[in-house]
């Protein structure tokens, strides 16, 4: 066995301007009665699939809208639009995260009324953590096909998470993944974080997830009423 | 069905300083006869597992060393060290990609001799694409449990790839993933790119991958000779 060697570097960015724009978004969303979710994960963790299953379950119970963030393509907005929910696609053209200014532009194009807005961030477990968008809740997804050391490897993302969702639970029998270990890491980084185990394929955990969202959104009038 | 709306933003960064340092790394590696691989993917695509399986197959055939890049933890260097290969762990403390300067520091701590160096980049399909490290080959991994639109969603990463590896092929029977579609997207972005289908669990494609590396490394003396 050889001995590993360690080198460490430190870098911090000034984010003051983004924070001011995020505060403006938060005020605007709050005044409109919108619960805004910043949905984050690595690429391919199943955010869009989860979102599609969520829209189908909640569409008749509360007004919904979606902002899709991607480096490139409008694939995800097209998928969401099929579910009959207002959606804006933000294409960052190479930028690795959404910023508050861009989300503010999307808000101009959406019907803001009491309900839930889901902002699906760019697939990236690092950069989006540093950019407040004005959301009410931060939700981080980890699929069980990823390694089970993701929270400790990407701590900034999990330190600010209000909920951590384990996705693709239907694949658990086929992989080595310690569910409890990931949940423990998440709680160590953010004590009291809500953890959920879900599968958009089997529906596992989807009711608990939808109840969590409805509970946070508070009492509302039904859509169209 | 609702209509999606599109907003686009453009941002480019000046990378001149990194490019100069990458050129210095490339010269140094070239003079030492080292084939350097920049191994990139989303978090949890199985880079480290693939690397472990690769080291076991190649260790007795060619000198090897490894640089591990992570936002946090030394988990991966510990895993690699168990395979008896020299390894340096770079911890970026929040930074989303490796840069040439940091890789240069790692090179100071490794035995540079004719053989193969694998640099496992931070798990991120966006930012690492923009930073030349001085590598000879860029290899991008996509696991079959991720969505099958990754190349078109993250084109910068795939436009510069010399090889695209589909990993976790053993899980293919359990997921919806169009292998050919991903390979076609990869070839459209980088004509002539080498594509490989692999599983570190079953060993599928591992011989072809190792042959690809040995072929690119060229004729060498055996380790210790």
Cα→Cα distances B158→A74, B164, B186, B197, Å? 18, 8, 6, 16
Identify whether B221 is part of a domain.
Answer: no
Residue A13 has pLDDT above 80, yes or no: no
A95 φ, ψ (degrees, to nearest 5): -70, 145
Give the pLDDT score at B10. Answer: 35
Interface with A, mutate which of B44, B45, B117, B144 (most A CBs under 10 A) = B44
- Using the beta-carbon criterion (under 8 Å), do B126 and A122 form an inter-chain contact? yes
- A-chain residues near B153 (CB < 8 A): 43, 70-73, 75, 123
Classify residue B6: in a domain, yes or no: no
Q: Which of A105, A130, A175 sits opposite B7 (nearest CB)?
A: A105
Domain assignment present for residue B111? The answer is: yes
CA dist., res. A156 & res. B150, Å (int): 24
Look at residue A120 and tell me if it is in a domain: yes
**B6-43: pLDDT as tens digits:** 554 433 444 788 999 999 999 999 999 999 999 999 99
Least confident range from A74-88, A145-159, A175-189, B1-15: namely B1-15
Give me the count of residues in chain B. Answer: 225
| A91 interaction partners in chain B (CB closer than 8 Å) | 6-9
pLDDT-above-70 percentage for chain B: 91
Nearest CA in chain B to A65: B2
Cβ neighbours of A5 in B, within 8 Å: 77, 87-89, 106, 109
Q: Which of A70, A57, A60, A52 is nearest to A106 (CA)?
A: A70
Assigned domain for A220 exists: no
The answer to whether residue A7 is domain-embedded is no
- Give the pLDDT confidence score for residue B1 in this predicted structure: 55
> Is B72–A154 a contact, with Cβ atoms under 8 angstroms apart?
yes
Tell me the two tokens of residue B97: 């990609």
Residue B215 token pair: 């072929």
User: Is A174 among the domain residues?
Assistant: yes
Instruction: Report chain A's mean pLDDT, rounded to a whole number.
Output: 92
Contact A6 B77 (CB under 8 A): yes
B11 chain-A contacts, CB cut-off 8 A:
92-95
Q: Which among A14, A44, A170 is the top mutation candidate for probing chain B, defined by the most B β-carbons within 10 Å of its own β-carbon?
A: A44
Domain of residue A129, residue span: 16-214
Helix, strand and coil in chain A, % to nearest 5: 40, 20, 40
- Is residue B188 domain-resident? yes
Burial of B80-94, coded b for 16+ CB within 10 Å and e otherwise, reads: bbebebbbbbbbbeb
How far is Cα B80 from Cα B61, in angstroms, rounded to an integer?
Answer: 17
Residue A219, SS3 per DSSP: coil
pLDDT band at B118, cuts 50/70/90? very high
pLDDT tens digits, B52-110: 999 999 999 999 999 999 999 999 999 999 999 999 999 999 999 999 999 999 999 99
The verdict on a CB contact (< 8 Å) between B87 and A149 is: no
The domain that contains A34 carries what CATH number? 3.40.50.300
Q: Residue A73 pLDDT > 60, yes or no?
A: yes
A84 vs A64: CA distance, rounded Å? 10
Is the ipTM, as predicted for this complex, more than 0.90? no
pLDDT category of residue B220 using cuts at 50, 70 and 90: low
Q: How many domains does chain B have?
A: 1
Please measure the distance between the N-terminal and C-terminal CA atoms of chain A and give it in whole angstroms.
68
């Amino acid at each position: 066995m050889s001995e590993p060697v360690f080198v460490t570097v430190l870098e911090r960015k000034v984010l003051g301007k983004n924070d001011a724009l995020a505060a403006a978004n938060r005020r605007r969303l709050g005044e409109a009665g919108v619960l805004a979710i910043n949905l984050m994960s690595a690429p391919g963790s199943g955010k869009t699939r989860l979102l599609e299953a969520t829209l189908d379950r909640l569409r008749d119970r509360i007004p919904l809208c979606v902002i899709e963030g991607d480096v490139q393509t409008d694939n995800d907005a097209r998928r969401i639009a099929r579910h009959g929910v207002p959606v804006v696609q933000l294409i960052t053209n190479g930028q690795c995260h959404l910023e508050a200014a861009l989300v503010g532009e999307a808000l101009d194009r959406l019907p803001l009324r009491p309900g839930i807005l889901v902002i699906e961030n760019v697939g990236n477990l690092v950069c989006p953590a540093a950019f407040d968008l004005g959301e009410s809740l931060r939700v981080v997804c980890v699929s069980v096909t990823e390694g089970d050391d993701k929270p400790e490897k990407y701590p900034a993302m999990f330190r600010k998470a209000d909920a951590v969702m384990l996705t693709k639970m239907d694949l658990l029998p086929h992989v080595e993944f310690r569910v409890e270990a990931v949940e423990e890491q998440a709680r160590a980084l953010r004590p009291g974080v809500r953890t959920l185990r879900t599968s958009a394929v089997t529906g596992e955990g989807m009711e608990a997830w939808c109840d969590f969202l409805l509970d946070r959104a508070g009492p509302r009038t039904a859509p169209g009423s």
